[in-house]
Structure 1
Amino acid sequence: MALINRQILRDDSLEKWEEIGSGGFGCVCKVRHKDWMCDVAVKILKDGTSHFMLKEKALCEEAYLMDLASCEFVLRVHGIYEGSLSRSGSSMQKGIVMDYMRRGSIESLQKDLSGPPPWPLTFRMAREVALGMNFLHSKGLVHQDLKPSNVLLSDDLHVKLADFGLSRVSTSVLNSNIVTTGEVGGSFKYMPPEAFDLSYKPVRSFDIYSYGILLWSICSGKEPYPDAPYSLVKLLISRNPEQRPPCDDLVEMRVEGLAKLVDLMKSCWHHNPKQRPTFKDILEDKEIVCLFSTHNKGIHHAVYEVLTKLDRQCSEQPPNLVPSICTTQGRKMSNDIVDHPKFPMAPKCDSVSVSTTTMSDFEKAKFVDDKRVVLIQDVSEVMAIVDELGDMVHKETYSRIEAEKTAQGQMRVLYRYTLRSGGKKVKAALYDALKIHEPNLVERLGG
C-alpha cells in the first residue's frame, strides 16, 4: 500500500525536533522543514514497542487513508518520515509527516476558552466537520474515532479531521472480495451502543452517532458523561435509548438555531442505526443548510475575538519583561496584537502619538448602552469584569451571574440587574473594566 503522492522525508531535511504530544502508539513532534521553511508535524512510532512491525504497517495504512481522504477539511499528509531521529541517535524509524496545526484542536480550544466557542464559530465547525466526514464516507471510509481532540484547527480556526489510526473501509460499501478487520476502537464516550458488541463491524452510522455527541460537546464546552467508566457508559447507552448527554441547558439558552441543532444531535445519536441520517442527508437538508448559515454574519468577529484571546494567553509574560499596556488617544491598548490575514493589524503602541483626550462618564455610559447587543454576544471575560465592578454588583446578582453557564447569559444578567438601575456611574465603570479585559473588542467597536 503506497501513498498516492508518496514522498520520503529524511533527517537531512528536518531540524528543530520538539515533542508536542505522546501516547501508547508513539509521539507527535513539531519539526522544521529546512527547504519548505515551515513547521510540520511528524507522528512517530515508539521504538522497541511490542508488535512493532504490526504498528508500522498500521501507521503506513493511516497515512494512505489520510491521503485518500485528502480534502479541505481533512489534515493534509505530506509523506512518510524515514530516519534515525538524529537528535537522539536512535535506530531507523518511520512516521507520518503532516501539516502542523498550531491552533490545536477543538478539545484544546474548549480548555483555553474555559467553555464553548462563540456561536458563529460553533455553527461553522458543525458544518465543516459534516463536510469533511461526508467526503470521507464518499470514499468508502469510516473514521471511527471522531471526537474533539481529533478535530484540529487551522490558523483561522477552520476544522481539519485527523487521527485516522482507527479508520477502516466501511463494510456497507465493500465488494465481496475485500476483507476488513472489524476492529472496533475509539473513545468509548463517542461510540454508538451497537459498537460495544464484539461482533460489530464498522459502518458509516458509527461516525454519525459520534458526530451527534461531538456536536453536543462543542455546544456545551463539556465532556460527555464526565468521570463515567467504560463499563457504566456501555451499560447505560446500550440498554436505555434515552441515555444521552443532557440537552435542557442548551435549549434554555434560546440562541437562534440552537434548538434545531439539538434536534440534529438527537437524530444522529438515535439508538437505531438505520434511523440516523447520513452526512449527505444532513448537508442536503434545506433547514439544516439554513441552520448552519444562521450566524454567518458574526463569524469574522467571533474568529477575531477567539484568536485575540488565544494569542493573549500565549504572549503573557512577567510584568518586568513586557509592559502590558500603553496609552494611545487616551485609551489603554493591549500589546497582544493579532497579525491575522482576515483582520487589519491594530496600530502598535510605539507608532501612535499619545493624546490626553479622555471620554466623559456620559460618553462611556452611552457606549455601553449603544453597544449592548454586541457586548452581550462578544464579551468573554465576564467574571473578571464583574470583579472589577466590585460593590457595584450586588451579592445576589453576583451569584446569579456566576451560575450562568455561558458568557452571553452572564452579560444578560449583568445588564438586567446591575446596569439597568445603576445609572451613568456604573456604566462608566463597566466601560473602564472592558478597556482592561476586552481592549480589542472595545477598539473594534470604536470605544
Structure 2
Amino acid sequence: MSGGYYSKCSCSRPVEWVKGKTVGSGSFGSVHLAMNKATGGLFVVKSAESDSGLQFLESEAEILESLDSPHVVKCIGKEMCGGKKLNLFIEYMAGGSLADVTQQFGGKLDEMVIRLYTREILLGLKYLHENGIVHSDLKCRNVLLSSSGDVKLADFGCSKRVKKHPNPIPLAGVAGSPLWMAPETLRNQGGLDCASDIWSLGCTIIEMATGNLPWAGKISNPVSAVLRIACSEDRPNFPSHFSQEGLDFLEKCLERDPRKRWKAEELLHHPFVNPESEEFAASSPASVLDRSIFPETDYSDESDEEDETPLRSPVPKPTTNRFFPFSILCENKFGVSEQHPRFGEHWSTSEEWITVRTS
C-alpha cells in the first residue's frame, strides 16, 4: 500500500498537523485529537502499527473513502509513515459517543431522545445496506454525536461488503463485539448479512435505555454469553419502562430468525421512530395487560443461575490482546478471572468485553 491520501475523501485533508491528547483506543491502535496547522480545525487521527491493526485500519479506510452520507463519519485522508504505520484522519465529533452521552446524562437516556437517535442510526444503516455494506460492530460506543445533535456511525474496522459489489471483502471469520452480535453471526452461519446490524441496533437501544450492556443480568462470563446468544432461543431483557411502540420495535429488531427481522427501511416507518405511521394501530395492544400480541419475554433483571456453573472453567484471565481465534470461545478455553464472578457487579462497561475480529 502506497502512502498519500484518498482522493474521494470529502473533507479538506490536513497538509501539516499536530497530534493532541489521546481520546480513545481500540483493537487496531490509538485515537488522538489532532489539529490542522493551516486552518486550526480539529479532527481525529486513528493510528496503527501492528500488522493486525494495519489490516483493520486499512479496511476501515477503504470503506470510509467510498461513503458519502450525513449519517456516517467523514474521512479526511490517510498517510503512511515509513510503510509501517498508518494514520487515518476522520472528522471530529465534539459530542463524543452515545456511550459517553448516556453516562453524562444520568446513566440512561429518555425514550424521546432514544427515538430521535434511533431514527438517525437507522438512516445510516439504510445507507450502508443500500451500498452493500454491513457495519458489523454497531453499539453505543461506535455511534458519535456532534455538539448540535447530529448522529453518525463510526468505527468501520469490522465492516464488510456483501453480495453484489465489485470489490467484496471476504466474509470468512467473525467480527464484532459478542454481546451485540446476532445469533446467526456468532454461529457463523450463512455468511454475514445486513440483518445482523438490525439485531445489534436492538441491543444498542437497550444499552441507551438502561445504561447497561445488553444481556446484563442474564450472562456472567464470555463463554456463557456466546453459547446463550448463539444457541438458545433467548433474547436480552427489554426495558420494562418502555412504551408499547418501543417494545414492539425491539421485537422487530431482536427477532432470532434473521429472515423475519425487519429491515432498516421498514423500521423507519415504525411509529417508534415515525410518529405519523399508522402501521402500528392494527396490532397495538389495547392496554399493558394485553400481552397476547407480544411473544413471552422475560423483562426481569434476574440472572440465570443454570448457565453459570457448567460453563465456568479454570481458564486464564483475558489479556489486553483483542485479536484471538473465535474457536477459543467455542472450545471453552477463554474466560474471566474469578475476581469477576458476577456480570452486573464488575462488567459495567464494554471496555472489559473484547472485540472479536478474526479472518
Do both proteins adopt the same fold according to a TM-score greater than 0.5, normalized to the shorter chain?
yes
User: Is residue 212 of structure 2 the alignment partner of residue 222 of structure 1?
Assistant: yes
The one of the two structures with greater contact order (alpha-carbon pairs below 8 A, sep at least 6) is 2
Residue 183 (structure 1) aligns with: 173
Q: Output the CA distance in 2 between the equivalents of 1:150 and 1:41.
A: 14
Q: Give runs of aligned pairs for residues 117-156 of structure 1, distance below 5 A.
A: 117-156=109-148
Q: Output the CA distance in 1 between the equivalents of 2:200 and 2:54.
A: 27
Q: Output the CA distance in 2 between the equivalents of 1:75 and 1:101.
A: 8
The Cα shift of 1:149 comes to 0.2
Residue 97 (structure 2) aligns with: 105
Consecutive unaligned residues in structure 2, runs of 5 or more: 278-359
The Cα shift of 1:64 comes to 2.3
Task: Look up the equivalent residue of 1:244 and give its one-letter code.
Answer: R
Q: Output the CA distance in 2 between the equivalents of 1:8 and 1:152.
A: 20
Q: Secondary structure at the match of 1:68?
A: coil
Task: Look up the equivalent residue of 1:81 and give its one-letter code.
Answer: E
Task: Look up the equivalent residue of 2:144 and give its one-letter code.
Answer: L
Q: Secondary structure at the match of 2:175?
A: coil
Number of equivalences: 272
1:38-89 Cα distance to aligned partner (Å, 9 max, x none):
11100000x3x3xx2x6434322311212323211111111113447xxxxx
Residue 266 (structure 2) aligns with: 281
Q: Closer, same or farther in 2 for the Cα pair 1:291/1:216, shift >3 Å?
A: farther
1:14-39 Cα distance to aligned partner (Å, 9 max, x none):
02422211233110010111123211
The Cα shift of 1:285 comes to 4.5
Residue 201 (structure 1) aligns with: 191
User: Is residue 224 of structure 2 the alignment partner of residue 232 of structure 1?
Assistant: yes
Q: Closer, same or farther in 2 for the Cα pair 1:286/1:115, shift >3 Å?
A: closer
Contact 2:246–2:272 under 8 Å retained in 1: no
Q: Closer, same or farther in 2 for the Cα pair 1:285/1:22, shift >3 Å?
A: closer
Q: Secondary structure at the match of 1:249?
A: coil
Answer with 1 or 2: which has the greater Rg.
Answer: 1
Contact 2:252–2:261 under 8 Å retained in 1: yes
Task: Look up the equivalent residue of 2:73 and give its one-letter code.
Answer: L
Contact 1:182–1:200 under 8 Å retained in 2: no
Contact 2:119–2:273 under 8 Å retained in 1: no
Q: Output the CA distance in 2 between the equivalents of 1:195 and 1:113.
A: 32
| Cα RMSD after superposing both structures | 2.8
Contact 1:4–1:68 under 8 Å retained in 2: no
1:335-354 Cα distance to aligned partner (Å, 9 max, x none):
xxxxxxxxxxxxxxxxxxxx
Contact 2:160–2:169 under 8 Å retained in 1: no
Q: Output the CA distance in 2 between the equivalents of 1:134 and 1:182.
A: 24
Q: Output the CA distance in 2 between the equivalents of 1:282 and 1:199.
A: 24
Q: Output the CA distance in 1 between the equivalents of 2:12 and 2:40.
A: 17
Would you tell me which structure has more helix in proportion to its own residues? 1
Q: Closer, same or farther in 2 for the Cα pair 1:201/1:135, shift >3 Å?
A: same
Residue 343 (structure 2) aligns with: none
Contact 2:115–2:272 under 8 Å retained in 1: no
Consecutive unaligned residues in structure 1, runs of 5 or more: 85-90, 252-257, 293-447
Q: Output the CA distance in 2 between the equivalents of 1:163 and 1:268.
A: 21
Q: Give runs of aligned pairs for residues 313-392 of structure 1, distance below 5 A.
A: none
1:76-109 Cα distance to aligned partner (Å, 9 max, x none):
111113447xxxxxx8622110111222101111
Q: Output the CA distance in 1 between the equivalents of 2:13 and 2:115.
A: 38
1:126-152 Cα distance to aligned partner (Å, 9 max, x none):
100000110010100000000010001
> What TM-score, normalized by structure 2, do the two folds share?
0.68
Task: Look up the equivalent residue of 1:59 and give its one-letter code.
Answer: L
Contact 1:184–1:195 under 8 Å retained in 2: yes
Q: Output the CA distance in 2 between the equivalents of 1:288 and 1:120.
A: 9
The Cα shift of 1:125 comes to 0.1
